[in-house]
Amino acid sequence: MDLSAPLAADLHLLSAAVRDSGGDLETRLQALVADLRGAVTSYFGLTMTIGVDGHEICFTLSEHHAKAATSLCIPLSAVTAGDSSGVLVLYAEVPGAFVDLAADLAWVLKLDPAALVLDQHLVVPTSSGGLVGLREHATINRAIGALLERGHTPESARAEVHRHADLDSGDVPAAAQRILDGVRRKPMPEHG
């Protein structure tokens, strides 16, 4: 049974869900995993890294603590039109398990086969109990929100957070936290 077309469709939908904040990422991932299990019997997990506002959010879904004998890295930008920043890395226990899938996906998606990278990501990230980078991204968004409440436009608030980061360590989440700490100490101006 050839599952390349359903997998390609799932990848398109997954990429759209990443790009569209209202997309149902969990449902799309479940569909993708179901198709992967059907196409590659030794598949056991994936890592997805998504670029959001210049910051990476990463998560790993793994069924067990197996050692990856093969991997397939799929850049989301190659799967869909638009500006999807991120990658999807698939893991399997049997060497060569993704060779046919990579060739089929390249053909179905009309990709340069070199865009799909085999066996360069054989270390499965250990689970940290959730999304890596999400807390930092939330801190940045809260700092932007606090600046919006103080009269900044969305663009100037983002620029202010990055300006603070540039002045210090270049660490955007740390700069955002410093902005939030400063906002908590200062009372909001009264409008009247």
- The whole-number pLDDT of residue 88 equals 87
Q: Is 192 part of a structural domain of the chain? A: no
Give the residue, 36 or 63, on which the prediction is more confident: 36
Confidence at residue 191, expressed as pLDDT on a 0 to 100 scale: 45
The verdict on residue 17 lying in a domain is yes
Mean pLDDT computed over 136-163? 88
pLDDT at residue 1, rounded to an integer: 37
**What's the number of domains the chain is made of?**
2
Angle, to 10 degrees, between the axis of helix 134-149 and the axis of helix 172-185? 40
Residues 99 and 57 placed together within one structural domain of the fold: yes
Same domain, 103 and 12: yes
**Taking the complete model, does pTM exceed 0.85, yes or no?**
no
Q: Are 39 and 7 in contact (CB under 8 A)?
A: yes
Tens-place pLDDT, residues 55-100: 677 777 777 677 899 999 998 877 666 556 788 899 999 999 999 9
Domain ranges, residue 161: 134-185
What is the bridge-based pairing of β-strands 43-52 and 55-62? antiparallel
Question: Does residue 62 fall inside a structural domain?
Answer: yes
Q: Where are the strands (E) in the chain, listed by range?
A: 43-52, 55-62, 70-75, 86-92, 117-118
Compute the mean pLDDT over every residue in the chain, rounded to the nearest whole number.
78
Answer with the one of 93, 118, 143 that is the final residue of a domain.
Answer: 118
**Is the residue at 77 inside a domain?**
yes
Rounded to whole angstroms, the Cα distance separating 50 from 57 reads 5
